[in-house]
Structure formats: structure tokens, C-alpha cells
A and B are shown apart, each in its own frame.
Chain A
Amino acid sequence: MGLLLQALVDGILIGGIYGLIGIGLTLIFGVMKIINFAQGALMMLGMYVTYYLFTWFGLNPYLSLPFSAIALFLLGALIQRGVLDRVLDAPEHNQLLVTMGLMLIIENAALVLFSPDFRTVKVEQLSGVLTLGNVNFEKTKLIAFLFALLLTVVLYWFLQKTYLGKAIRAVSIDRDGAALSGIQVRRVNMITFGIGAGLAAVARDVGRCVGGARDRFVHRLFVVPLSPQRRLLCLGDAGGGGNFAANRSKLRVLQQDHGHFDSVGAQSVDVSI
């Protein structure tokens, strides 16, 4: 019973972060009708922003949130203006392929620029566990969950109440109709994609603290240029709270990564559980 409850709590906490990642993706899909394959790659870039802010300036990962969000917002807006704007009316498969091309560019640029090494951020004072009955709440997971919840509420308010939010919803319902009503559709598209990219960065920035909690005392951040599916897998699996099943799945993820790196011909990965 205790184990079940624990698993449930862990699942709900991590689900909140998945939700935040998903909102960024659906926002873009809802307005642009484009499935953004590069979302995972943008997430990864957000992680690197956090990592470099931490290693260069010693900035706490939670405080670097606005920076990674703004950086990714600008990059997202640039991608929308430069690339996606031109394929909005193209056939769907071409739209998919464009975002796939973007994913290839971003992921491999990261591979070249940042190397395929694991990066870790250690913030000792943020670790710890709250215990309620016989259920453990990891502090980082709890913070991440609450933050995801807060951001979702803020976003909902933004979309429902502000002028820009209403414009975004109008474009999502009918692009031509919105344009005829005087909404600057191109600008709305740009802002939407920017928000979507920024959300990915933020979600990952928060989620990373969870994904990094590999042991009780040290916080670690793993930033690896990987395909988005596998990165999501890492995010989901690496957060296990010290029980056997979670550790085993962690190992499995690392093994998968190991294979991946071997096939790339790059450095092997340090497996330490």
C-alpha cells in the first residue's frame, strides 16, 4: 500500500511537469496546426542555457528560469518568422519535415558545440525529502510540480483575459477570420511559437532539477543532446525516488544512452547508481 501511494505521488508530481511540456507543444499545434518535432531540441537548448548560467555565473537553476525562457522565446520567434511562416499553407508532410530538419540542425549543432558529454549541476541546499506518513515528497519534485501548476494557471489566465491571449485563441479558431478582424496574424504566430518554445525551456529547467536528483545529497543535471523521445524517457525515469524499480529503469535509460553514444563513436557514459 505504501509503495503504491508513493508511486502515485511520484507519478502525479512528474505528471505536472509533463503537462507543462505538453502545453507548449499544444499551444503551437493549436495555433499553427504544425506538430513541432523540434520541441525537444528547444527544451535541450533551455537546459544548456541553465547549465552555462550556472557554471559561468553560479546562478541557481530556479533563478535562471527567466533567462532561459527569454532566450528560447527569442529563438522560437526567430524560427517562426524565418522558417515556419513560409510553410503555413504548405502540405502537412512538408510542415512536419521542416520541423524535423530544424530538430536535426539544433540537436547536432548542440552535439558539435557542447560535445556529447553529460553535464551536471550540483545544488546541495535544494535537495531533501519531506515525509508525510509513510510517503516521501522530494522537495525538488514538489517545487517543480507547484511551479508547473502555477505556470499553467498563469497561462490560462493570459489566454482567457488578456488581449493578446484572445488574439491567440482567435487565430487558433480561424486564421483568415482573425486576419479580417484586424489581428496581426503573423505577429500572433511569432509570439505563440515563442511562448511555446519558452515554456519548453522553463518546463525542462524545472523538470531538470527532478531529472537530476540521482541521489539524496547531490543534485545533478544531465544535459545531453539526444532525441526528444529518449530525453522525455530520461526525464520520466531518472526521477525515481530511490526504490529498486526506479533505479533499475534509470540504469536502463543510461544503458540506452550508452548504446547511443557508442554508435555515435563519442565518449562513453559514466554509469554510477
Chain B
Amino acid sequence: MGILIPLAPNPLMFQFESRLPYYYVIFIMTTLVTWLVYHVSKSKLGFNLVAIRENEDAARSLGVDAFKNKMIAIGLSSALTALGGTFYAQYLLLIEPPLAFSSGVSIAILLPAIIGGAGTVLGPVIGSFVITPLGELTNALFSGTPGVQFIVYGAILVLVILFLPEGIVGWVLKRMRLKQIQKGAQAK
């Protein structure tokens, strides 16, 4: 089952002999994408998108083309996901349905964003730095019993939504804003 990618260990074919070049490729890709998303968030497009999220009717009444901006957002999101997909395919050299479409994959994509904070630039990055080592750790500790990793994932998902619904980054941002407001109140 699945499609095997023809073996051709050649940097021009995006295939390398060792795992180290892959590391640098994904490192550079992640850094560039984070930089890109940061700049989008500070651009007119980013402000338009926040306006649409907060109140679509109000945004449209101020002349924001909601449909166009949403299309750009979903296109951009798909393009970035495709970057990850291409890397994944060239890294594993195998494309098969469970690898690409199973609910496990959806959850693996979803969890970092939720835990880090959806709607923030750094949220997904920080989220995956938290969740991935945790997953690997539980995998190593309970290597004999498959499923423990997903119990932990599920428990984290439930706990985060119950007690930290805006994610780690969202929570920190909220605290910072609160501090600023308090400072402003004291200054007066």
C-alpha cells in the first residue's frame, strides 16, 4: 500500500544520505515560515484578518473585502502545509493513506496550535516544542504498550481547553496586557 518515492540520494532531488541535512532543511524552513507569518501578522493583510475574526460585519462596513482576505488566508495556510508535506514525503520516501489522512495526523497537527495558542504567531512553534518531546518521552517510557502516547495527548487536550483555553502564548499575552493596564491605572 502507498506510493514509494524512487530512491535518488542527491541534494538536487531533495534526498540526502544522512538525516543531518534534513534537520537543517526543516530548521531553515521553520524559521523562514515563522518569519513570514510574523510579517503577515504585522501587515495590512494581518490586520484585515484580525478584524474579520473579531467582527466580520464591522470589518466589511469599513471596506475590508472579507471573502478575498479569507481566500488569501486559507491559500497561504494550505501552501505552508504543503511545504511540510513535501518535506515529510522526501524524508520518509513513502506516501500512504494512514500517514497522510488518519485522525492521528490531524491531531498531531492540531495539538501544537491549540496548546501553544491558536491565532498567535509563536503559539504553534512553542506548542510543538512542548508537545513533541512529551510525546517522544511517553513513547520511550511505555514503548511496549501502543496507545499511551495518545492517552497523554487526549488528557493534555482536555486539560488545556478546560484551564488554558487561549493556549500558552495567548495566556502570556493576556497577562502582559493586564499588567500594562494596571501600570497605566497606577500612573494616573
Contact = CB atoms under 8 A, between A and B. Distances in A.
B157 A101 contact: yes
B174 to A, nearest CB: 15
Contact of B158 (A91, A98, A259): A98
Interface string A210-234: 0000000000000000010000000
B151 A104 contact: yes
Contact of B154 (A105, A263, A265, A266): A105
Given A87-B162, A101-B157, A108-B154, A227 B103 contact: yes
B162 A104 contact: no
Q: Which of B114, B156, B157 has the most CB of A within 10 A?
A: B157
Nearest to A104: B154
Contacts of B147: 107-109, 111-112
A108 B98 CA distance: 17
A259 B155 contact: no
A101 B145 CA distance: 19
Given A83-B162, A90-B161, A90-B165, A97 B110 contact: yes
A19 to B, nearest CB: 25
Contacts of A100: 107, 154, 157
A111 B157 CA distance: 19
B114 A97 contact: yes
A265 B104 CA distance: 14
B101 to A, nearest CB: 12
A33 interface: no
Contacts of B98: 259-260, 263
A87 B159 CA distance: 11
A83 B160 CA distance: 12
Nearest to A111: B147
B29 interface: no
Q: Which of B103, B107, B147, B149 has the most CB of A within 10 A?
A: B147
A112 B148 contact: yes
24 contacts: A83-B162, A86-B162, A90-B165, A94-B161, A97-B110, A97-B161, A98-B158, A98-B161, A100-B157, A101-B154, A101-B155, A101-B156, A101-B157, A101-B158, A101-B161, A104-B150, A104-B151, A104-B157, A108-B149, A109-B147, A111-B146, A111-B147, A112-B145, A259-B1
Given A101-B157, A101-B158, 5 more contacts: A90-B165, A101-B153, A104-B150, A108-B150, A109-B151
A105 B158 contact: yes
B100 to A, nearest CB: 12
A100 B107 CA distance: 9
A178 to B, nearest CB: 24
Q: Which of A87, A101, A259 has the most CB of B within 10 A?
A: A101
Contact of A264 (B146, B151, B157): B146
Given A104-B107, A260-B98, A83 B151 contact: no
Contacts of B157: 97-98, 100-101, 104
Interface in A97-134: 97-98, 100-105, 107-109, 111-112
